[in-house]
């Protein structure tokens, strides 16, 4: 089963995934005109800040099976696509009762008016749909495509989990001094290197100026 896997230790809170998600679910799917639409398109992924600077967590629907939100929906607005393995909301059938949000264990369901909903002033349940249209075309979900630090990755779930275990094993063994196995990369490594290089150049220029 293919799914989006979250690597929270790599998220830097840039929120590009949120922007890409909102644009993907707009009528125009245009980066400029999308946010001029009424109602405004809404993101389905929610980046929450972490306890320290440059740490964050991109929270999204896990598409549970069985899904508590689907089980409690009184109008049958929430269904499952068994082919893609995603839980979907039909905004035309949603009555905004919020029962789905009450039982969601991950707090990923929000309520906003949608262009595809019953009215411009009527809030309905909004959640990740797995970018089913993109995935059906063989593309990655919009949030994954936008993420530049691999905090969000898409693929076969067992393969993604195996890769995550490999990284964690390497980190534990390296911390114990048992091996120099691959550590989880620092998503800001390039920026840190750039800063060090600029500092070294500035120090060198100052030293050269002092010897004249």
From CA 73, how far away is CA 82, in angstroms rounded?
18
Task: Give domain status of residue 81, yes or no.
Answer: yes
Tell me what percent of the chain is helix, strand and coil, each rounded to the nearest 5: 35, 15, 50
Task: Give domain status of residue 37, yes or no.
Answer: no
Q: Are 157 and 20 in contact (CB under 8 A)?
A: no
Residues 173 and 121 grouped into a single domain = no
Residue 206 burial (10 A CB sphere; 0-12, 13-18, 19+): exposed
Task: Give domain status of residue 25, yes or no.
Answer: no
Cβ neighbours of residue 24 under 8 Å, at least 6 residues apart? 131, 134, 142
Task: Give domain status of residue 198, yes or no.
Answer: yes
Number of CB atoms found within 10 A of residue 19's CB: 17
Q: Identify the pLDDT of residue 157.
A: 84
Task: Give domain status of residue 177, yes or no.
Answer: yes
Q: What is the mean pLDDT of each run of 10 residues along the chain (212 residues)?
A: 90 95 96 94 94 88 97 98 95 96 97 91 96 95 96 91 80 69 57 68 72 51
Total number of domains in the chain: 2
Task: Give domain status of residue 77, yes or no.
Answer: yes
Q: Identify the pLDDT of residue 193.
A: 66
From CA 45, how far away is CA 24, in angstroms rounded?
12
Q: What is the CATH number of the domain that holds 92?
A: 3.30.70.20
Task: Give domain status of residue 188, yes or no.
Answer: yes
Residue 119: give the domain boundaries. 61-127
Which of 17, 113, 2 minimizes the C-alpha distance to 60? 17
Q: Identify the pLDDT of residue 18.
A: 98
The residue out of 105, 127, 149 marking a domain boundary is 127
Q: Identify the pLDDT of residue 195.
A: 66
pTM equals 0.77
From CA 174, how far away is CA 154, in angstroms rounded?
27
The residue out of 102, 127, 152 marking a domain boundary is 127
Q: Identify the pLDDT of residue 173.
A: 74
Q: Identify the pLDDT of residue 178.
A: 61
Q: Identify the pLDDT of residue 33.
A: 95
Tell me, what DSSP letter sits at residue 73? -
Task: Give domain status of residue 45, yes or no.
Answer: no
Q: Identify the pLDDT of residue 126.
A: 98
């Amino acid at each position: 089963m293919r799914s989006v896997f979250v690597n929270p230790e790599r998220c830097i809170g840039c929120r590009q995934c949120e922007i890409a998600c909102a644009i993907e679910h707009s009528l125009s799917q245009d980066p400029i005109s999308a946010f001029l639409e009424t109602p405004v398109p809404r993101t389905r992924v929610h980046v929450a800040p972490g306890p320290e600077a440059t740490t964050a967590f991109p929270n999204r629907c896990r598409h549970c099976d069985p899904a508590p939100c689907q089980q409690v929906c009184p109008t049958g607005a929430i269904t499952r696509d068994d082919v893609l393995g995603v839980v979907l909301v039909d905004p035309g059938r949603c009555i905004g009762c919020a029962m789905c949000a009450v039982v969601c264990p991950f707090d990923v369901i929000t309520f906003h008016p949608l262009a595809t909903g019953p009215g411009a002033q009527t809030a309905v349940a909004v959640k990740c749909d797995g970018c089913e249209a993109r995935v059906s075309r063989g593309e990655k979900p919009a949030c994954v495509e936008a993420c530049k630090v691999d905090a969000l990755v898409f693929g076969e779930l067992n393969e993604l989990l195996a890769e995550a275990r490999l990284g964690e094993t390497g980190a534990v063994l390296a911390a114990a001094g048992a091996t120099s196995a691959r550590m989880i990369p620092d998503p800001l490594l390039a920026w840190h290197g750039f800063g060090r290089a600029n500092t070294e150049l500035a120090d060198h220029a100052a030293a050269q100026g002092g010897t004249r």
